[in-house]
Copies of this chain bind each other. A is one copy, B any other.
């Protein structure tokens, strides 16, 4: 999350309006997308309710440009930062036992058979997801 925050901070609003590659997602979409996925982790890790349900709808369920009006970039930046802070706050209080507990999208029966489907695994998968998009977002960096 720190790495992504640094990258977002290094990009201007104008740069974020660009596509990461021709015909691909805009930076602003990926910003909303990662904020929405972060926010959704609150639910997955049983840490509380999501704070931005509309973000999930607009930036995960729907594709880039499928929504007529998206929030201003500044607002999406705040959602991203807020979601990182919220998760960090919870992560700091979690014990090893918490991390190995089941997440909310796996049933008790399935978890008994596949105990690796724990909260730590959710975070590892989410980190990988962030990194795959970071590999794309850096393409916005050196453009004028």
Contacts and interface: CB of A to CB of B under 8 A. Distances in A.
**How large, as a class, is the contact surface on chain A?**
10 to 19
Contact of A136 (B127, B129, B135): B135
A127 B121 CA distance: 13
A91 B4 CA distance: 30
Contact of A131 (B21, B24, B131, B139): B131
Contacts of A136: 135-136, 139
A136 B22 CA distance: 12
A143 to B, nearest CB: 10
A131 B126 CA distance: 11
Contacts of A135: 131-136
